[in-house]
C-alpha cells in the first residue's frame, strides 16, 4: 500500500511507525510538520492571529501547517491508500478535510486528552476513522481506543550496570513542581537520578534538574533510558492515557514509577514492576528498587508492540 504519515513528531516516536510499515513492504511517506517554520511577517499579523484564536478559534500557524501539508500531498502525484494524521488538532480543520482529495482513507490518532486539548472535537468529523489513547474519550465520542506502543524491544543494557537509578524527560508544564518534589525525595534517600525538562523559554530553575532549550531525538532519549535502572512517568492532569514512558519500560523490561493511577486497569500491570505514587504525598518503598523485574506473559506483551499497533490501525494481516 501507499501510506502517508502526517505528524508533529517533536520527539521522533512516529518515525517508528514509518519503519514498521516499510519493513512490511509498504511505500511510506512521512510529513513531519514539526519541521515546518512559520514567522509572522510583521507585528500586525501577531495581533491578527490573537483575534483569530479568541473570536474564531482559528490559528494562522495551523492554517499554514495545513496548507504546506496539502502542497506536499499534491506533489506526491499519487493517491494514497491511507493517510494517518497524528496531532491533527495542530492543523486547521478545513485543511484536514482536504486530505481526502489525496487518499482513499483518512485516519487520525490522538494521544492527548480532549479535556486538555478541546480542539480535537472540531477535527473528528473530518476523518474517516479516529483512534485515541484515552478510554474516556473513546466512549464519549464513539472513537476507537488504542494505546501508544512498544517501539524498543531489545534489552540493550545486558550487563546491568547503570549510571542512574531513575530517569525522566518531559516538557515544561504543570508537572514541574511534582518532578521537583520527587527529585528532592530521591536525593534524600540517596537514590541517583537524571531528570531533564525541555523548556524553550529557559525560565525554570532547580538544582536537581537539567533544563534544555530544544527537544532531543528519540535515539538520545533511548541512550539515557538504557543508562537507567528505572523510569519515571509523571502524567499530565486530566490525562489518563498511558505515555510512551510506560511502553519504554515494558519494551526494555525496566521498572516504572508513575503518578498515573489508571495504569491498574491494564492487563500488564504488576505492582512488583510498577510503583504508583501520590504526587501530593510522595513516598518510595526502597524494596521496590532492590527487587528484580518480573517479565509479563508473551501474549499480553505482543498486544502492545508496534507490529500489533500498525496491524490494528492500518487493518493489516498479522505476520
Nearest by Cα to 65 from 24, 99, 41: 99
Residue 153 in 3-state DSSP? coil
pTM, entire model: 0.89
Separation of alpha carbons 199 and 185, rounded Å = 23
Query: 255-291 pLDDT, tens per residue?
Result: 999 999 999 999 999 999 999 999 888 888 889 999 9
Q: Grid coordinates 506526491 are at which residue? A: 76
What topology does CATH give the domain 164-302? Answer: Rossmann fold (3.40.50)
Report the pLDDT value the prediction gives residue 280, as an integer from 0 to 100: 85
Report the pLDDT value the prediction gives residue 214, as an integer from 0 to 100: 78
Q: Tell me if the domain spanning 2-149+306-313 has CATH number 3.30.70.
A: no
Report the pLDDT value the prediction gives residue 273, as an integer from 0 to 100: 97
- List where CATH 3.40.50.2000 sits in the chain: 164-302
CA–CA distances in Å: residue 233 to residues 175, 196, 243: 10, 12, 8
CA–CA distances in Å: residue 224 to residues 15, 89, 204, 294: 19, 30, 22, 22
> What is the four-CA torsion angle of 91, 134, 212, 203, rounded to 10 degrees?
80
**pLDDT beneath 70, residues of the chain:** 38, 40-45, 47-56, 153-159, 202-203, 318-319
Pairing type for strands 106-110 and 82-86 reads parallel
Report the pLDDT value the prediction gives residue 251, as an integer from 0 to 100: 93
Report the pLDDT value the prediction gives residue 69, as an integer from 0 to 100: 97
Report the pLDDT value the prediction gives residue 55, as an integer from 0 to 100: 57
Report the pLDDT value the prediction gives residue 109, as an integer from 0 to 100: 98
Amino acid at each position: 500500500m501507499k501510506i502517508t504519515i502526517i505528524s508533529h513528531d517533536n520527539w521522533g516516536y512516529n518515525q517508528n511507525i514509518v519503519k514498521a510499515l516499510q519493513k512490511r513492504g509498504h511505500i511510506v511517506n512521512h510529513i513531519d510538520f514539526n519541521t515546518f517554520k512559520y514567522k509572522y511577517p510583521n507585528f500586525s499579523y501577531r495581533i491578527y492571529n490573537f483575534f483569530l484564536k479568541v473570536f474564531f478559534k482559528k490559528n494562522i500557524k495551523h492554517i499554514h501547517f495545513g496548507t504546506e501539508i496539502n502542497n506536499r500531498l499534491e506533489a506526491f502525484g499519487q493517491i494514497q491508500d491511507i493517510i494517518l494524521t497524528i496531532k491533527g488538532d495542530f492543523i486547521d480543520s478545513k485543511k484536514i478535510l482536504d486530505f481526502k482529495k489525496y487518499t482513499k482513507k483518512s485516519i487520525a490518532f490522538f494521544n492527548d486528552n480532549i479535556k486538555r486539548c478541546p480542539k480535537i472535537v472540531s477535527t473528528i468529523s473530518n476523518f474517516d476513522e479516529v483512534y485515541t489513547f484515552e478510554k474516556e474519550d473513546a466512549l464519549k465520542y464513539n472513537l476507537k481506543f488504542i494505546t501508544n506502543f512498544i517501539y524498543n524491544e531489545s534489552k540493550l543494557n545486558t550487563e546491568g550496570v547503570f549510571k542512574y537509578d531513575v530517569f525522566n524527560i518531559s516538557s515544561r508544564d504543570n508537572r514541574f513542581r511534582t518532578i521537583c518534589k520527587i527529585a528532592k525525595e530521591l536525593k534524600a534517600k540517596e537514590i541517583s537520578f537524571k531528570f531533564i525538562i525541555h523548556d524553550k523559554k529557559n525560565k525554570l530553575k532547580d538544582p536537581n534538574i537539567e533544563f534544555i532549550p530544544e527537544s532531543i531525538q528519540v535515539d538520545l532519549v533511548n541512550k539515557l533510558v538504557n543508562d537507567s535502572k528505572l523510569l519515571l512517568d509523571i502524567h499530565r492532569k486530566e490525562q489518563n492515557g498511558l505515555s510512551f514512558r510506560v511502553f519504554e519500560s515494558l519494551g526494555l523490561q525496566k521498572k516504572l514509577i508513575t503518578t498515573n493511577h489508571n495504569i491498574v486497569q491494564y492487563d500488564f500491570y504488576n505492582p512488583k514492576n510498577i510503583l504508583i505514587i501520590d504526587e501530593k504525598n510522595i513516598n518510595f518503598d526502597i524494596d521496590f528498587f532492590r527487587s528484580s523485574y518480573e517479565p509479563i506473559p508473551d501474549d499480553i506483551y505482543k498486544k502492545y508492540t508496534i507490529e500489533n499497533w500498525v496491524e490494528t490501525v492500518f487493518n493489516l494481516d498479522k505476520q
